[in-house]
């Protein structure tokens, strides 16, 4: 096995903190630099994970100047993704970025062009494509268990009225952050979204609506796909709609179908006949990972005190070590990541186009195509 190490700078130490022990444990994880504007957080996180003082930054521009760093992992608030990605690519760094890629079609197009120009890889760290549920269904699909896909449905229901989120979230159009709903159906259908019709439903408070000029409490979009007769329906909400948090999808095939559980720990359902249904628990995905990072997929198995902070935030269906592993291996093998810059842009823009449709009386909007996709 190649012994090369990848040195990574992580900016954003909220959710971003979760990836530090994964990169430190991974065979190809090298030096880790961290960056946050808050000195107290920088010291606390740096001390917890043993980050050398010369690899701790409160200034993002200073961190990306470090010639030792091969890549930057951006885990900051959504409004900063585009600018920080452009800065890192321009500085000659590979980029991993939490979702979404950006908040406009033009910004996505620029990131694609810049990635190609500077010859550096970009990966949107879409956790929905590495959850236990997604990988379980993908495996069954590849084995032919579902037969032909006839229809898919997905949703990302999240009630931000509960508080604890940044001011920029206030009134954000749901499909600005549509990737968790769009990505699974896109990948399982196996084709990029072609066009979308989206309906806005309900109303959020006037205070929230003024922020982005978007009144919708819920947005529901119907996507069609290049070269496919399958249609997918995706639903998103953020405010003034009561529901337990859920990122889910359902797949209906000619031989078998899968539906996500209605409530947490209620059990997913496999349908194998007209009246035949079975509640299931999906298996862990640790066997897909190198030995040194398998522990990070576990729901309750983390006992090492150095990993307690990770255990407290462990979520997204055990996907965190998968996205980190995929990014590292793409750089080690000098290839595009699975969720490359083209796919990242297409999935992000699908959501942005859905919002445009909802704001124009559900007019059909053609989704931009990028590069090889």
CATH number for position 35? 3.40.50.720
Mean pLDDT of 84-103: 98
My answer on whether 133 and 240 are in the same domain is yes
Grade residue 134 by pLDDT with cuts at 50, 70 and 90: very high
Please state, in angstroms and rounded to a whole number, the distance separating the CA atoms of residues 344 and 124. 6
Structural domain span for residue 15: 6-127+328-340
Kindly state the average pLDDT of the residues 53-76.
Answer: 98
Q: Above 60 in pLDDT, residue 59?
A: yes
What's the whole-number average pLDDT of the chain?
A: 94
Give me the residues paired with residue 236 across strands. 156, 219
Mean local confidence (pLDDT), 99-108: 98
With bands split at pLDDT 50, 70 and 90, how would you rate the model's confidence at 370?
Answer: very high
Same domain, 36 and 161: no
Strand-by-strand arrangement of the 71-74 sheet: 56-57, 29-35, 6-11, 71-74, 94-97, 122-124
| Structural domain includes residue 27 | yes
Distance CA 93, CA 139 (A): 33
Q: Does residue 303 form part of some domain?
A: no
Residue 93 and residue 138 in one domain: no
154-168, 273-287, 353-367: range with highest mean pLDDT: 353-367
Say which residue, 356 or 316, is predicted with more confidence.
356
Q: Characterize the bridge pairing of strands 122-124 and 94-97.
A: parallel
Mean pLDDT of 261-290: 94
Residue 160 lies in a domain: yes
Give the model's pLDDT for residue 298: 77
Quickly list DSSP for 190-213.
TS-EEEEEEEEES---HHHHHHHT
Same domain, 67 and 214: no
Identify the CATH number of the domain in which residue 167 sits.
Answer: 3.30.360.10
- pLDDT for residue 36 is more than 80: yes
pLDDT score of 94: 98
Residue 371, pLDDT score: 84
> Is residue 311 situated within a structural domain?
no
Both 110 and 201 in one domain: the answer is no
Confidence of residue 372 (pLDDT cuts 50, 70, 90): low
Residue 172 sits in the same domain as residue 219: yes
Residues 151 and 274 in one domain: yes
> Does residue 80 belong to any structural domain of this protein?
yes
Q: For residue 188, name the pLDDT band (cuts at 50, 70, 90).
A: very high
Pair (109, 172) in one structural domain: no
Q: In the structure, what pLDDT confidence band is assigned to residue 373 with cuts at 50, 70 and 90?
A: low
* 160-173: average pLDDT: 88
Q: For residues 182-197, b (16+ Cβ closer than 10 Å) or e, as one string?
A: bbbbbbbbeebbebbb
| Residue 193 and residue 144 share a domain | yes
- Digit-coded pLDDT (tens) for 211-241: 999 999 999 999 999 999 999 999 999 999 9
Contact 125, 323 (CB under 8 A): yes
pLDDT band at 304 (very low <50, low <70, confident <90, very high): very low
Claim to verify: residue 255 and residue 332 sit in the same structural domain: no
Is there a domain that residue 188 lies in?
Answer: yes
What domain count does the chain have? 2
Any domain includes 293: no
Beta bridge partners of 235: 155, 220
Q: Which of the four pLDDT bands, split at 50, 70 and 90, describes residue 2?
A: low
Q: What is the pLDDT, as a whole number, of residue 299?
A: 60
How do residues 305-336 score in pLDDT, each as one tens digit?
344 444 433 468 999 999 999 999 999 999 99
Q: Are residues 133 and 117 in the same domain?
A: no
Please tell me the predicted confidence (pLDDT) of residue 68.
98
Pair 11, 120 in one domain: yes
């Amino acid at each position: 096995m190649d012994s090369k190490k990848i040195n990574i700078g992580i900016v954003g130490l909220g959710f971003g903190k979760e990836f530090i022990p994964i990169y430190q444990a991974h065979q190809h994880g090298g030096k880790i630099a961290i960056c946050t504007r808050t000195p107290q957080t920088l010291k606390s996180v740096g001390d917890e994970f043993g980050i050398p003082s010369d690899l701790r930054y409160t200034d993002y521009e200073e961190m990306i100047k470090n010639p030792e760093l091969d890549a930057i992992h951006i885990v900051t608030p959504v409004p900063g993704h585009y600018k920080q990605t452009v800065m890192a690519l321009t500085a000659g760094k590979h980029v991993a970025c939490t979702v979404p890629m950006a908040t406009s079609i033009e910004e996505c197009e620029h990131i694609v062009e810049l990635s190609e120009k500077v010859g550096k890889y970009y990966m949107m760290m879409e956790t929905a494509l590495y959850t236990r549920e997604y990988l379980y269904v993908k495996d069954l699909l590849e084995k032919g268990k579902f037969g032909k896909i006839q229809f898919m449905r997905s949703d990302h229901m999240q009630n931000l009225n509960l508080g604890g989120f940044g001011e920029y979230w206030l009134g954000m159009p749901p499909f600005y952050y549509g990737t968790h709903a769009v990505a699974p159906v896109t990948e399982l259908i196996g084709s990029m979204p072609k066009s979308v019709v989206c309906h806005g439903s309900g109303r959020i408070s006037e205070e929230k609506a003024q922020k982005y000029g978007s009144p919708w409490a819920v947005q529901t979009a119907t996507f069609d796909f290049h070269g496919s007769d399958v249609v997918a329906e995706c639903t998103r909400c953020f405010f003034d709609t009561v529901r337990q948090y859920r990122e889910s999808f359902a797949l209906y095939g000619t031989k078998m179908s899968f539906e996500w559980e209605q409530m947490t720990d209620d059990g997913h359902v496999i349908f194998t006949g007209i009246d035949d249904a079975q509640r299931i628990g999906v298996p862990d995905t640790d066997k897909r990972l190198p030995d040194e990072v398998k522990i990070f997929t576990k729901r309750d198995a983390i006992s090492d005190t150095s990993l307690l902070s990770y255990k407290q935030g462990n979520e997204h269906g055990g996907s965190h070590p998968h996205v980190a592993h995929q990014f590292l291996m793409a750089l080690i093998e000098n290839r595009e990541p699975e969720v490359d810059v083209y796919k990242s842009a297409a999935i992000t823009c699908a959501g942005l186009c859905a919002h445009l449709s909802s704001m124009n009386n559900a007019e059909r909007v053609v989704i931009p195509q990028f590069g090889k996709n």
